[in-house]
Structure 1
Amino acid sequence: MTETTSWNDVRIAFKKIWGYDNFRPPQGEIIRSILEGRDALIVLPTGGGKSICFQLPALLQTGLTLVISPLVALMENQVQELRDRNLPAALLHSQLTPQQRRHTLQALENQELRLLYLSPETLLSAPVWERLSQPHLKINGLILDEAHCLVQWGDTFRPAYRRLGAVRPTLLKSKPPGSQIPIAAFTATADPSAQDTISQVLQLQHPQAFLISPYRQNLNLDVQIVWTPRGRRQKMLQFIQARNRQSGLVYVRSRRDGEELAQWFGERGYATTAYHAGLSSQERREIEQSWLSGKTQFVVCTCAFGMGINKPDVRWVVHFQPPQLLSEYIQEVGRGGRDGKPADALTLISEPTGWLNSEDKQKRQFFVDQMRSQYQDAQRLVKKLPEHGNVAAVSQQFRQGEVALALLHSAEQLEWQDPFHYHKHPSSDSRALVNLSSHQVQVQKLMTQYLTTRQCRWQFLLKAFGFKKEAMGLKCGHCDNCRK
């Protein structure tokens, strides 16, 4: 706790801003830890009230808290909620108009903000970094929201994540002596290996860990085999028809699948829409509002939908195709039943051999091939990269340069001297990338094991995410395997 903030002040502010009398465990402990300026790693199930845990401390302190967030939609939702309460929060992302951007940078310059939401890429862009590095700008803390994205995307898809560990030490060099910038990483899903990666990449210092089991007694898990592409659609339709007017979500793995399926539903009289990262900010906002208000029964969406959107009465979630990763799955099913009432999560899969219905097998193979190709490109690049250099120059010279640097960092063959300059180990070995690629394939296999397991599904998930004690002897009684 800060000298000027008592726990009573915290409770009063919580009641005044959000209208609640009491924190849900472990919200109070997390808020206390952040106010005390400690590093923290927080694994809290979807719907556990993560955002309040960092928003409240930020609003109680003078200075700025940076919230590093993966998706524009997620930032927009959280900032809009804060602005609706007249709280000093803003966001920066690539889709803002020049005028909106100037306005936010001016507010930053004038120290009018308490919370600034931005992506890793925006954080590390020259105009933003220059302002954040000014000695007079007090930075209270760094929050990494949806920290599992660092693990899922940091190697190949969003390589800027791999540079975040150099942010704190570099910013502190420009701040007055004695300044501190604690870091807190929040996620709903991180197994022990992902927790280690997050801690190592962010260079967390003796982090206080808050690890809450993802088990939800009200969430009924079900995996069903479908024998043909047509059968998959029919099974889904029957499932939704049986839940007439109940609010839900249909998850697909690609933009194209989403658009085709939304059209198919439209032909059958369902007013639904495809939601994906290719839509404009306004289009996304309209779809979200229509769904949140109950005008639209369900949305056909990619993984871009749902992070940070709070709708308690989601009664069902369908995975039209299974996700690649278990962490994605548990995030997405966790959007059901946040109000504590029963919710059903159905995942449709092709029959195990893939002979009759090869959809899932082909999709899985496509992602594995794509990943291997990126690793092979990086392997070829390793020898060409200079031993010292900066990201901008490498990206300009080599098409996959930034990805190669991220992969080398992941393979512990490279260090970031600051977020823009690297030092490659003289003994850098491209074979380390082969091991990295094999590890990623193993991570994807875990999802297949879950889909084909005959044990209690919740027991499998708890074991996979490191909650072995809670998993011991568990028979949930409400997944398809237990019900059999």
Structure 2
Amino acid sequence: MTNREILKKYFGHESFKDIQEEVIVNLLAGNNSLCLMPTGGGKSIIYQVAGLQTGKITIVISPLLALMKQQHKRLEEQAISVLSYNSSIGDLKTQYNKLRKAFSGAEQPKFLFVSPEKMLSDGYLEFIIKKYRSKIGLFVVDEAHCISQWGHTFRPSYKTIPLFIQNVYGADKVPPILCLTATLNPLDKAEICEELNIEDKNTFISHHLLRNNLHLSILEQVDNNTEKKDQLTEILNRHHDQKIIVYTHIKARDYGTREMAKAFQEKGFNCHHFDADMSDNEKLAILEQFESGELKIVFATSAFGMGIDIPDIRVVVHYLIPESIEQYYQEVGRAGRDKQPAHCYLLFSETNFKIRRDLIKKSLLKTKRIKDIFETSIKPVSNANSILKKKNEDNTSNDKVYSLSKIDIREDNSEMVIFLYLLKKRFIQLEGKGIQFFDCFDDNSNSALYNLMKGASINGMITRIARKLNKSIQQVNHDIFTMFNHDEIKLNRVPINVLNYKVVSELTDDLSSELHDVLNLRVKNRLENFEKLVELIRQKENPIQAVSKHLGITVAFGYS
């Protein structure tokens, strides 16, 4: 089938729009590509058509469970085989079993959705991808702006995507990689292209990045939070019974997601909070209620909205000033995806400027804090002092093996930033990605290797088994996953995924200062970007014209 025939058969569209077809053709020619298209502009169609056209598996790396669920559902509705490898399908025991089943038959899923945190921590996922690497036709990095350390949405685990691909393919040819996002500043773009080997000629930017159905309003400055709440109340009443996102951007304080949702619930509004502290199931429940219209108003941090495709959101309110023009642009883009008129309001007081500056400044780690994290989290003196519950075995300092588990690898935390920096500087050496204890498996075939491993460690600790059998941790995990894949062993309980590593050098004062300088540069860049937004607000320009000018884009008049 041609690209257009695939588009028609599976997605019901007669023709491509904007730059979709250009990017598809470029990918199918084997080129790594970066694509910038507006929110709701049809980015997912690019990888869906290109992926189907390859006739192979497409790996989609996505930052949010809710986003994976939406895309999964739409592909499934078209009778396209798809697997989302995450907690939505059950605990880790269930995930292992479903991943094995999906790849054990003659036909593998056409699309596999995973998070960057999964790629970093899940050894069985890497084992499967490596085993079937010749059947993979495309890698997709969705919301690619999360890669950049300069952006407000930086996710540390995104930085390990190139390492994952290198571990899988080694010297073999890698399938094309597609990076998707709505907008990037020059620093973000340069970093992403360098990390994923994208040439400038393979960067595609939509001709119309800002939709003309969005009505952007910056309200008059108020003196205090009480007056701002009055402004918000008036907006919510004016848009009664419409779907509304109110961005507060923080969880705590009286203007955070939870207190604001509580206050407006007491006023009779149909609302709820949404932030990173909620469980995955709680997030999915709120998203489904909002999508169906059962819930009308969501008070959210930036955790809500990235890539979420709900077409009939009519209003976006920025109750706390966003961090940059790019963030403002991305978040107003949540509204009006159905091309019907939508309204976006930015509320502010002079105090809000100070609050945002303080939030950015407080994110900078002092050198003492960097050393504390190293000594208590990355190379703990003892397990009792370990914040992240690292396990170590040997007595020789440089031979100790530590492990990061799922609880350590969160969306954005200081420990991971420092860990990845030390990994890049080769102060940390990875020893293997897999499970922590072997006793989660039972013998299913009277396997000699199973019995050998069981005899090597009473509690089944993988690091001890590796030492007793004189094998690398990586090889022991490979042997375990091979037995599991051949149904020689079976899971009796939920395994614990870990990333094993050694600390080969101490954290010196010079390296602490170097890392502090890098983090300080990031904070400085974030502050500079914020001041550009402040200038936009103070000048009282037409917001659409000001945003378009800053981003170097045109407004999509008549865009469809």
**Both proteins in one fold, TM over 0.5:** yes
- 2:364 equivalent in structure 1: 372
Point out the more displaced range, 150-159 or 359-368.
150-159
- 1:141 equivalent in structure 2: 138
Percent same amino acid at aligned positions?
27
2-structure distance, mates of 1:458, 1:43: 18
Alpha-carbon displacement from aligned partner over 1:430-449 (angstroms, at most 9, x marks no partner): 33641542343332332243
Question: Please, which runs of 5 or more residues in structure 2 have no aligned partner?
Answer: 380-397, 433-500
Residues 1:445 and 2:528 are matched in the alignment: yes
Alignment of 1:228-267 (within 5 A): 228-256=224-252, 257-267=256-266
Residues 1:71 and 2:68 are matched in the alignment: no
1:219·1:345 contact (CA, 8 Å) conserved in 2?
yes
Letter aligned with residue 51 of structure 1? S
1:166·1:419 contact (CA, 8 Å) conserved in 2?
no
Residues 1:87 and 2:88 are matched in the alignment: no
1:154·1:161 contact (CA, 8 Å) conserved in 2?
no
Alignment of 1:66-465 (within 5 A): 66-94=59-87, 96-97=90-91, 98-110=93-105, 111-124=107-120, 125-134=122-131, 137-151=134-148, 158-173=155-170, 179-204=173-198, 208-212=202-206, 213-224=208-219, 225-256=221-252, 257-351=256-350, 354=351, 361-369=354-362, 371-373=363-365, 377-378=369-370, 393=402, 402-407=416-421, 430-431=513-514, 433-453=516-536, 454=539, 455-465=541-551
Alpha-carbon displacement from aligned partner over 1:255-282 (angstroms, at most 9, x marks no partner): 3422222222221221122122333444
TM normalised by structure 1 equals 0.81
Relative to structure 1, is the Cα distance of residues 153 and 262 closer, same or farther in structure 2, using a 3 angstrom cutoff? Answer: farther
1:49 deviation in Å?
A: 0.7
- Give the secondary-structure state (helix, strand or coil) at the position aligned to 1:338: coil
1-structure distance, mates of 2:333, 2:45: 18
Letter aligned with residue 129 of structure 1? E
Letter aligned with residue 113 of structure 2? Y
- Give the secondary-structure state (helix, strand or coil) at the position aligned to 2:24: helix
Residues 1:40 and 2:25 are matched in the alignment: no
2-structure distance, mates of 1:37, 1:130: 24
TM normalised by structure 2 equals 0.70
1:137 deviation in Å?
A: 4.8
Letter aligned with residue 246 of structure 1? Q
1:105 deviation in Å?
A: 3.4
1:234 deviation in Å?
A: 0.8
1:208 deviation in Å?
A: 0.8
- Give the secondary-structure state (helix, strand or coil) at the position aligned to 2:365: helix
Relative to structure 1, is the Cα distance of residues 272 and 349 closer, same or farther in structure 2, using a 3 angstrom cutoff? Answer: same
Alpha-carbon displacement from aligned partner over 1:154-173 (angstroms, at most 9, x marks no partner): 99974222222233333223
Relative to structure 1, is the Cα distance of residues 423 and 210 closer, same or farther in structure 2, using a 3 angstrom cutoff? Answer: farther
- Give the secondary-structure state (helix, strand or coil) at the position aligned to 2:309: coil
- Give the secondary-structure state (helix, strand or coil) at the position aligned to 1:266: helix
Alpha-carbon displacement from aligned partner over 1:393-440 (angstroms, at most 9, x marks no partner): 48699x96642243468xx8569999978999x996833641542343
Relative to structure 1, is the Cα distance of residues 102 and 236 closer, same or farther in structure 2, using a 3 angstrom cutoff? Answer: same
Relative to structure 1, is the Cα distance of residues 79 and 362 closer, same or farther in structure 2, using a 3 angstrom cutoff? Answer: same
1-structure distance, mates of 2:103, 2:401: 25
Point out the more displaced range, 18-27 or 291-300.
291-300
Question: Please, which runs of 5 or more residues in structure 1 have no aligned partner?
Answer: 1-7, 477-484
2-structure distance, mates of 1:114, 1:233: 48
1:366 deviation in Å?
A: 3.2
1-structure distance, mates of 2:532, 2:400: 38
1:221 deviation in Å?
A: 2.0
Larger Rg: 2
1:413·1:428 contact (CA, 8 Å) conserved in 2?
no
Alpha-carbon displacement from aligned partner over 1:273-323 (angstroms, at most 9, x marks no partner): 212233344433332233223333322222222233323232221011122
1:189 deviation in Å?
A: 1.9
Alpha-carbon displacement from aligned partner over 1:324-375 (angstroms, at most 9, x marks no partner): 2333221110111223333221111122xx3xxxx55235413421x21267
2:353·2:534 contact (CA, 8 Å) conserved in 1?
no
2-structure distance, mates of 1:419, 1:57: 36
Equivalent pairs counted in the alignment come to 448
1:378·1:404 contact (CA, 8 Å) conserved in 2?
yes
Point out the more displaced range, 274-283 or 337-346.
274-283
1:223·1:347 contact (CA, 8 Å) conserved in 2?
yes
1:235 deviation in Å?
A: 0.4
Relative to structure 1, is the Cα distance of residues 375 and 139 closer, same or farther in structure 2, using a 3 angstrom cutoff? Answer: farther
